[in-house]
Structure 1
Amino acid sequence: MLDYPIIDSHVHLLDPARLGYAWTQGITGLRSKAEPADVFAAAKPVEVERFVFVEVDVDAGQHLAEAAWVSELAAAEPRLGGMVANLPLEKGVAVEADLEQLRQHKPLRGIRRLIQGQSDPDFCLRPDFLAGLKLLARHDLSFDICILHHQLPNAIRMVQQCPDVRFVLDHIGKPAIKVGEMDPWRADLKRLAALPNVHCKISGVCTEADHRTWTRQEITPYVEHALESFGFERVMFGSDWHVLELAGTYPDWVHVVDEIVHDCSPSERRKLFRDNAAAFYRLR
């Protein structure tokens, strides 16, 4: 186990008394409420120095309320170091009014708009979506790319049209681990990694495998390919907690990643578990 505190680039918090999460209905084993204290309790004995909240796909129209709530939490808990808020970028330049409201929150570091569940395969290539996305560069806000593996080609086209935006790929692009597929994800990830303004989160991997039977040996080739493609300068650890709990515990995931990079240098491991997330999300 690591002998220093980590910085977690990807944590979810929920409060169903304040916000709606329709997508969680019917998912067995997913806790309905999660606050900062729950993160630290779930992580033990791993010490989490700071973490980044990532939006939780609240019901339509609640993205500003979610950001305000998380900002309140961060004011009371300094280890909640950054926030990646939800913003409907498909509104195009008209979304700037919402963006200005979000920018009033001190923890704001980036934006995420889920692409993975969109019915339109070209959702992220719509002119209005790209126009909204390009607004982020002006304010030094990053964009979390959350997609399924078959959406990587369009994600590459999206990034190519936004060279001034800093991107980070969530969950290594969600490869089809459960059925053992590496291709075409393997080649597509390499192509995305060739774009210098894209980073990658080593997160959300075990939940793409069978939740009950996955093994370290099964997921290692996927994690190793992501590390090789992006290099240790552009990867960061993420727990994807609370969703992680569908497939394992927080300490288990830290241990698995630590084992995969066991033979890497101490500086490379610190970049993965601490330094890169701190730099990317400006947590220093």
Structure 2
Amino acid sequence: MRQILDAHLHVWERARHPQPWIDPRTMAAIDRDFPPASAAAELSRNDVGGSVVVQAVNDLTETVDLLSGTRDLDAVAGVVGWIDLTGDVDAQVTMLRSGPGGEKLVGVRHVTFAEEDERWLSRADVGHGLDALARLGLTFDVLVGHHQLAQVADVVGDHPRTAFVLDHLGKVPLRGTELVDWAADLALVARRPNVVAKVSGLVTEDEAGRWSTERLRPVVRHALRTFGPGRLLYGSDWPLAELEGGYGAWLRAYLELTGHLPAADQAAVDGRNAARIYGISRRPGRRPR
């Protein structure tokens, strides 16, 4: 039996937290609200026992709302929120932890694509914030483009006490001709012992309607070869997965792509690694059909 803890999904209600990146023409499938209850329902439909909700906008009020909005949802085991890493990190985290649902704060992420400076992650003031996260027992989810992976390797190496989580395997360039560069740079990141990676967000990196399990097989094989099953986390990247077949389509592909692994390794990627990295005590529940 494979018990799944989804390490990466999103919720949003746009009246309070707009999502201007959603193109209503090309992203019609997600051009609507996805409140926390809808995530819980989607997990239930796919027999997934728990999840980690990840921030979508660089705004502290969104994190406050994510924590309070999911505090009574058993389907949400943790929240990766946002804080200003260049500000008073201790004060912000204290405020979040003392508020409704604050016990579910497990990590921090910053949407780096919102920054004009592609070297934002390497700034000294950001680095001070990353070091503070280690002291506070929080992880940092890294969201970058594949061309920034070499930079990520340097940043992770510069902050050895901070636990990093690389989102979406570094945004695999399935549409382009840079897979060789991506593979080499992902290997650089994997050499750092204080970073793990999410097997997530892959189906939306290919051309629309083109992805398949077989096209993703060498990508997942390389991730397993470089990071090993002890440092990979399954994530759905829902609701973005709705753009390419929905939650179930990617989950079935993931199960097939990892089906050759020994049971202990499957369990690690399925959820045990996420529970360990994010400090989630309860184990995921049901078996996917």
TM-score (norm 1): 0.91
Where does residue 38 of structure 2 map in the other structure? 38
1:128 has 2:138 as partner: no
What letter matches 1:272 in structure 2?
A: V
Could you tell me how far apart the structure 1 residues matched to 2:67 and 2:5 are?
19
Cα drift, residue 43 of structure 1: 4.2
What letter matches 1:157 in structure 2?
A: D
Matches within 5 A, 1:51-200: 51-57=51-57, 63-89=59-85, 91=86, 93-104=87-98, 105-200=102-197
Cα drift, residue 201 of structure 1: 0.4
Q: Which gives a bigger RCO, structure 1 or 2 (Cα 8 Å, sep 6+)?
A: 2
Pick one of 242, 265, 268 that aligns with 1:268.
265
Q: Secondary structure at the match of 1:208?
A: coil
In structure 2, list runs of 5 or more residues that go unmatched: 282-289
* Contact 1:176/1:208 (8 A) holds in 2: yes
In structure 1, list runs of 5 or more residues that go unmatched: none
Could you tell me how far apart the structure 2 residues matched to 1:8 and 1:188 are?
25
* Contact 1:84/1:108 (8 A) holds in 2: yes
What letter matches 1:57 in structure 2?
A: V
Cα drift, residue 73 of structure 1: 2.3
**Larger CA deviation: 94-103 vs 203-212:** 94-103
Could you tell me how far apart the structure 1 residues matched to 2:141 and 2:224 are?
18
* Contact 2:2/2:266 (8 A) holds in 1: no
Could you tell me how far apart the structure 2 residues matched to 1:159 and 1:222 are?
22
Could you tell me how far apart the structure 2 residues matched to 1:215 and 1:256 are?
8
Pick one of 233, 256, 265 that aligns with 1:259.
256
Pairs aligned (count): 276
Where does residue 237 of structure 1 map in the other structure? 234
Could you tell me how far apart the structure 2 residues matched to 1:37 and 1:186 are?
37
Could you tell me how far apart the structure 2 residues matched to 1:167 and 1:260 are?
24
What letter matches 1:37 in structure 2?
A: A
* Contact 1:5/1:46 (8 A) holds in 2: no
Could you tell me how far apart the structure 2 residues matched to 1:271 and 1:215 are?
24
Cα drift, residue 25 of structure 1: 4.6
Cα drift, residue 35 of structure 1: 2.4
| Alpha-carbon displacement from aligned partner over 1:30-58 (angstroms, at most 9, x marks no partner) | 14211233224334552121110100125
**Larger CA deviation: 12-21 vs 106-115:** 12-21
**Larger CA deviation: 234-243 vs 218-227:** 218-227
What letter matches 1:88 in structure 2?
A: D
TM-score (norm 2): 0.90
